[in-house]
Every structure is written in structure tokens, then in C-alpha cells.
Amino acid sequence: MRHIISILLQNESGALARVSGMFAARGYNIESLTVAPTQDPSLSRLTLVTMGSDDVIDQIVKQSRKLIDVVEVLDVTARAHSECELMLIKLRVASRAQEAFDAVCAQRALHVLEAAGELRCLRAAGTGTEIDEIAAELGAIGEVVELVRSGVAAIETGSAVLGARVLATAG
């Protein structure tokens, strides 16, 4: 089963390497990984997507908590959450397919970043499934020249805050 793991870690040199090294050493695969500073510049949030049974994910969470730079770990999959992924795609669109291209852009709220000749550079955001669907729709209209995906960013909805105690004492 697909799981989204959110890890709050110290924004220190080597912290990401230690987390990814732990995954590699135990043979866990990372399907997607996103990391960036939080509202507290001393902390970063690492969001990763992996596959595994509940027992495997439980082991990942426990082993991650043992790492020196890790402040908090949460499997957000089973909790109410919002997730988003960014895709940039460069597409070659023949003039005969322009109408279909415009329709998909309007329906999917895609942002055309650049249009030069038959090439179109677009930005799309949505869940991983939505991004897969958009890429397939665009691929049916034109030739995908280049595609870049950011990986998943996820946040628990409601009043819960990952690392709330840590952030409260740091402020």
C-alpha cells in the first residue's frame, strides 16, 4: 500500500543523507521525496512516498525516529490530509490539436508558462493521481518532450500540527 511519511528534521548538513541512507540500508524504496525548510528555519520537513505493508511502515517510522536529526515522524496516509504535487511539462502540440489542448488546459486549470511555435510549457498541480491523468491526457494530444515532477507535499488537515511542541518551544 502507498504511504506518505512526513518527517520533521533539523535543518543540518547530512540530515537528508542519514534518512535516505537508512532507507537504502534496509532495502526500502522511496518513490518520491520532497524536502524544504519550514516556517522555523532550523527545521525542514521531508515528505516521502513509499510502498509497504502496515508492519513495514511501522518499522520505517520507528527506525526514522532513532535518527539523530529527526524531531518527529508521522504516517499521514491514514489521517485526514491534503497532498499536492507539481508537474512541469513541455509538449509539442500540432496546430490541428490546439483546440483539444485548450480544452484540457481550461478543464484542468493548467497554466501555460510559455508557448513558442508548437511547443507549450505548462504547470499543473494536484494529487499524484491527478498529475498522472493530466500527463496521460496531454500525451494523447501531443508529444511529451520533457516532464518534471516535484514529488508529493502533504499536510495533515484540522488542528494537528507536526512538531507542534517543538515549534512552540522554539518560538
Our count of domains for the chain comes to 2
Q: What is the pLDDT of residues 52-83, one digit of tens each?
A: 999 999 999 999 999 999 999 999 998 999 99
What is the spatial distance between Cα 90 and Cα 112, in angstroms, rounded to a whole number?
10
* DSSP sequence for the chain: -EEEEEEEEE--TTHHHHHHHHHHHTTPPPSEEEEEE-SSTTEEEEEEEEE--HHHHHHHHHHHHTSTTEEEEEE-TTS-EEEEEEEEEEEE--GGGHHHHHHHHHHHT-EEEEEETTEEEEEEEE-HHHHHHHHHHHHHHSEEEEEEEEEEEEEE-SS--TTHHHHHHH-
71/97 same-domain check: no
68/6 same-domain check: yes
Q: What is the pLDDT of residues 112-161, one digit of tens each?
A: 999 999 999 999 999 999 999 999 999 999 999 999 999 999 999 998 88
98/72 same-domain check: no
What residue numbers bound the domain in which 146 lies? Answer: 82-153
Q: What is the mean pLDDT of the chain?
A: 92
What pLDDT is recorded for position 51? 92
Asked whether residue 26 carries a pLDDT value surpassing 90, the answer given is: no
Whole-structure pTM value: 0.84
- CATH number reported for the structural domain that contains residue 44 in this entry: 3.30.70.260
